[in-house]
A and B are shown apart, each in its own frame.
Chain A
Amino acid sequence: MATAAARDTARGPVDDALDGATDTTEFERAFDAAVAADERIEPRDWMPDAYRATLVRQIAQHAHSEIIGMQPEANWITRAPSLRRKAILMAKVQDEAGHGLYLYSAAETLGTGRDELLDKLHSGRQKYSSIFNYPTLTWADVGAIGWLVDGAAITNQVPLCRCSYGPYARAMVRICKEESFHQRQGYELLLALSNGTPEQHAMAQDAVDRWWWPSLMMFGPPDDESQHSAQSMAWKIKRHSNDELRQRFVDICVPQAESLGLTLPDPDLRWNEARGHYDFGAIDWSEFWDVLKGNGPCNEQRLSQRRRAHEEGAWVRDAAAAYAAKHTRRTPAAAGTTVETGTYSETGAARA
C-alpha cells in the first residue's frame, strides 16, 4: 500500500485543474517518499507519467513474451516421446497462457487494454523476449528451455516480486512459483536424456550448446548500454543491474551443468577465486541486436503465427460479442443470473 499522503494527493489534480494549474510537485514528493520507504504503488495512486509508461512497456513485453513463448514449446507437444512428458509440456504451455493473462491484467490497471497491447505486438511496435526467436529443433530443446530459459527468467523475475508497482509484484509472485516448477522439470528432462542412450546424451548436449548464449542475452545489454536501467532502478522497478543478474545466473548454472553431466559451450568459463564468481566469455552482442531488430531465425515465423491465430479467431470473438449483446437484450431480468451474459472468458479461465 502506498502512503496515505500519496493516496490523498491522488484526488488532488482534479481540484487543482479547476484553478487552471496542475502543480504535481507535492504528488511527486509523496510518490518518491513511498518508493523510498519500499511501499507499493497501487493503480489509483498518483505516479509520474514516465513511470506509468515504463511499466506499461515492461509488463506488456513480459506478457507478449509469455504468449510468443508458447510457440517454441508447443512445437513439441504432438511429438513428446512419452505420455508423462506430454502431460508436463501441455501443462506448462497452459501455464504460460495463464501468465500472459495475469500480466495483461496487471498492465490494464495502468490504463491500457489487452486489445491495444496485442495490436502493438502484432504490428511490431512492442517487443517480446528475443530468446523466443530461436527454434526448437529437437526434443532436448524443451528441456534446455526449461532449465536455461526459465532459469534466466526466474533470476530476472524473483526481484520483480519486490517491484514498487503492486499489481506487477503480485503477478510475479504467482508466476515465479510456477516458473521454478517448470525449471525443475526442464532440468529433470535433460537429466533423463543425459543419463540415457548415447544418442539422447548427444541430443541434450547439442541443445545446451545452442541455448546457452541466447539465455545469457536474456538479461539484456551490458550495464553501460542499457538505456532504461538507471531510471528503473531509481523507481525500484528493477532491483539489480543486467550484468549483476547475468553473473548470478552463470554462478547458479555451472554446478548444475556439472551435475547434469553436460558442458557449457564457453572455453573461458572458470572459477575466479578473487571475485568469488565464475568468469565467462564475451557475448556476441551483434547477434543480440540483430535478433532484436527482427532478424533472428524465427522472428518472422513467430509473429506471423500469432497474427494468423488472431485473424483466424476474429469470427469467434465476434460471435461471442454478438451472442453476449443479444443475450443481454433478450433477458433484461437476468441480472441475478449473469453466468451466460459475461464474456467468453469464464468458460475457460475459471478452472485455470
Chain B
Amino acid sequence: MALGDDALVLSHRLGEWAGHAPVLEEEVALANIALDLLGQARVLLSMAGDEDELAYLREERAFRNLQLVEQPNGDFAHTIARQLFFSTYQHLLYAGLASGDGPFAPLAGKAVKETAYHRDHAEQWTLRLGDGTEESHDRMQRAVDALWRYTGEMFRPLEGLGTDPAGLEPAWLEQIGRTLEQATLTVPATPRTGAWTAGAGRQGLHTEPFGRMLAEMQHLHRSHPGATW
C-alpha cells in the first residue's frame, strides 16, 4: 500500500502540471509519467483492496506515501529534483523486486521499464538545468537542497515488502551523486533525515500541503457517497 500511495500521490502532483508546462513536449512527457504512476498505483492499491475506496476515502493520517512525493510542484526544477530522487529510488526498488518471486514481482517487471524512462527523463533535465544557464543552475541547486531532507525516508524498512530498502541506499547515493556532479551541481551536505522526516510519511505523518492536496482530490468522490462513476 505504501508503494501504491507513493505512485498515486506523485501522479496527482504531476497531473497538476497539465496546461502549465514550459514546452509542449513536457506536457506530453509529464502526463506520460503521471499516467504510468497512476497505472502502478491502481495495480498496487487493488492488491490491498478497492482502489477508489483506498484513494478517496482514507484521511491524511492513513496514507503511507513518502513525504517526498507529496511536496508541491514548485518551479520546474523542483519538480525535476523530486522526479530524479524518486525515480532513481523506484527504479532500483522495482529492479530488485522484479528479479525476486514475491507478490510484487509481476508488477515490478512491467514498472521497471517505465521507471527507467522516468529516471532518464529526470536525469536529462537535471543535466540541462544544472549545466544550462546561471539561472537554471541556481534554481536546480536550490531544488536539490530543498528536497534533500526528504530522501532519507526512502530507505527506512517497509513492512510486507520482503526486502529491506536500506540495501538500495549505496546505489542510490552513487547514481544521484554522479548525475549531480555531471550537472555541475553540489551534493548537499545537510542531513537526509530528521526527527520528523525519518520514516514519518510511512507512519501517516505528513507535511502540511498534503491535506490540501487530498481535499481537492477527494472532494467530488466524497460529495456523492456510494455513487459509481
Contact = CB atoms under 8 A, between A and B. Distances in A.
Q: Decide if A and B are genuine partners.
A: yes
Interface of A: 67, 70-71, 74, 77-87, 90-91, 93-94, 97-98, 100-101, 104, 139, 189, 192-193, 196-197, 199-200, 305, 308-310, 312-324, 326-327, 340, 344-345, 347-349, 351-352
A6 B51 CA distance: 60
Contact of B19 (A70, A322, A349): A70
Given A87-B42, A91-B35, A315-B135, A309 B19 contact: yes
B133 interface: yes
A348 B32 contact: yes
A197 B227 CA distance: 7
12 contacts: A77-B15, A77-B16, A82-B221, A82-B228, A83-B51, A93-B19, A93-B27, A93-B31, A100-B24, A319-B133, A322-B136, A348-B30
A278 B5 CA distance: 51
A83 B12 CA distance: 10
Interface stretch (B117-125, B157-165, B194-202): B117-125
Contacts of B56: 81-82
Contact of B128 (A98, A199, A320): A320
Q: How large is the interface on B (under 10, 10 to 19, 20 to 34, 35 or more residues)?
A: 35 or more
B15 A86 contact: yes
A316 B129 contact: yes
B124 A81 contact: no
Given A83-B52, A344-B23, 14 more contacts: A81-B56, A82-B221, A83-B8, A85-B229, A93-B31, A101-B24, A104-B24, A313-B21, A313-B22, A313-B76, A318-B136, A344-B26, A348-B32, A349-B25
Given A81-B224, A85-B229, A344 B128 contact: yes
A323 B132 contact: yes
A70 B18 contact: yes
Contact of B20 (A305, A317, A322, A349): A305
B35 A83 contact: no
Q: Of B16, B42, B229, which is in contact with the most chain A CB atoms at under 10 Å from its CB?
A: B229
Given A91-B35, A316-B23, A347 B132 contact: no
B139 A101 contact: no
B101 interface: no
Contacts of B120: 347
Interface of B: 8, 12, 15-16, 18-32, 34-35, 38-39, 41-42, 45, 51-52, 55-56, 75-76, 117, 120-121, 124-125, 127-129, 131-133, 135-136, 139, 216-217, 219-221, 224, 226-229
Contacts of A87: 35, 38-39, 42
B144 to A, nearest CB: 15
B220 A81 contact: yes
A17 B94 CA distance: 65
B18 A313 contact: no
B81 to A, nearest CB: 13
A140 to B, nearest CB: 11
Contacts of A321: 132
B25 A101 contact: yes
A313 B23 contact: yes
Given A316-B129, A322-B133, A348-B28, A78 B22 contact: no
Contacts of B31: 90-91, 93-94, 97
For the complex of A and B, 10 pairs with smallest distance between CB atoms: A313-B22, A348-B29, A319-B132, A319-B136, A94-B31, A74-B18, A97-B27, A316-B22, A323-B128, A74-B19
